[in-house]
Amino acid sequence: MLDNRIFLVGMPGSGKTTLGRQLATHLHVPFTDLDHYIERKEGKSVRRIFEKTGESWFRKTEAIALRQATEEYEQGVIATGGGTPCFEGNMDFINRHGVSIYIEVPITEILSRMKAEGIAVRPLLAGKSDEQLYRFFSETLSHRKQFYAKATITYASANPNAGELCQLIDQYLVKKE
Ligand SMILES: Nc1ncnc2c1ncn2[C@@H]1O[C@H](COP(=O)(O)OP(=O)(O)O)[C@@H](O)[C@H]1O
Ligand SMILES: O=C(O)C1=C[C@@H](OP(=O)(O)O)[C@@H](O)[C@H](O)C1
Ligand SMILES: [Mg+2]
C-alpha cells in the first residue's frame, strides 16, 4: 500500500477528478479535488473566479490551494486542474510531495466527452466551435506536455480506469524497492 500522496495531472477532460475519487476509495485514503477545494475556499465556482478575477488571479489562488491541500494529508489522492502543473513551479512542488501520474488521453476522446458533458461548464472552452476546440486542445497540449512529462508515471489510455491505475502504482512501487 502506498504511504504517500498521489497527484493526478493531465488535460481537462482526461478524467482526473473521476479517476482520482475512484482511486482514493480503492486505496482507502482521503480524496481532494483541487478545483473543488478552491471553490469551497473562495465560495464560488472556478468558472465564476475566471469570469470575475481572470486567469492570472486564479493561478495564484490555485498554487496556494495546492500547497494547503497537500499539507492537509500525508497520504491521499489529489486530482489537480489541467493547468496546475504549468504554473508557479507547481509540478516540481508536486514531485517533491508525492507520486505524480499523468493521465494521457487522446484529444479526440477528450473532445467527445466534453460534448457529452456540455462544454459550457468549463471556462476555458465555452463558446468554441469544434474546429476551434480541436485547435485549442492541440496547442494547449503542445505547451503543457513539457510539464506533464515530468510526472513519475504516465498512464496512456483512451479509457483509463482505477483498476489499471492501481496496477501501475503497484508496479512502480515494486520497482522502487
Ligand atoms: N474513463 C472514462 N471514460 C469515459 N468518460 C469519462 C471517463 N472518466 C471521466 N469521464 C467523463 O469525462 C468528463 C471529464 O471527467 P473529469 O473527471 O471531470 O476530468 P478532469 O477532472 O480531468 O477534467 C466527465 O464528463 C466524466 O464523466
Ligand atoms: O486546464 C485548465 O487550465 C483548467 C482545468 C480545470 O480543471 P480540470 O482539468 O479538472 O477540468 C480547472 O482547473 C480550470 O477550469 C482550468
Ligand atoms: Mg477535474
CATH topology of domain 5-167: Rossmann fold (3.40.50)
Residue 5, phi then psi, degrees to nearest 5: -95, 150
pLDDT 10s digits, 104-161: 999 999 999 988 887 666 767 778 888 998 999 999 999 999 999 999 999 999 999 9
Rounded to the nearest angstrom, the distance between the alpha carbon of 130 and the centre of ligand 1 is: 19
pLDDT 10s digits, 52-79: 999 999 999 999 999 999 999 999 999 9
Interface ipTM: 0.97
Coil, helix or strand at residue 102: strand
159 lines ligand 1 (CB under 6 A): yes
Break the chain into its structural domains and give their ranges. 5-167
CB-CB contact of 87 with 146 (8 Å) = no
16 annotated binding-site participant: yes
Rounded to the nearest angstrom, the distance between the alpha carbon of 78 and the centre of ligand 1 is: 15
CB-CB contact of 7 with 66 (8 Å) = no
Coil, helix or strand at residue 107: helix
48 annotated binding-site participant: no
Cell of residue 111, nine digits:
473532445
- Would the CA dihedral through 143, 20, 35, 117 be positive or negative? positive
Give percent helix, percent strand, percent coil of the chain, each to the nearest 5.
Answer: 60, 10, 25
124 lines ligand 2 (CB under 6 A): yes
Cell of residue 8, nine digits:
493526478
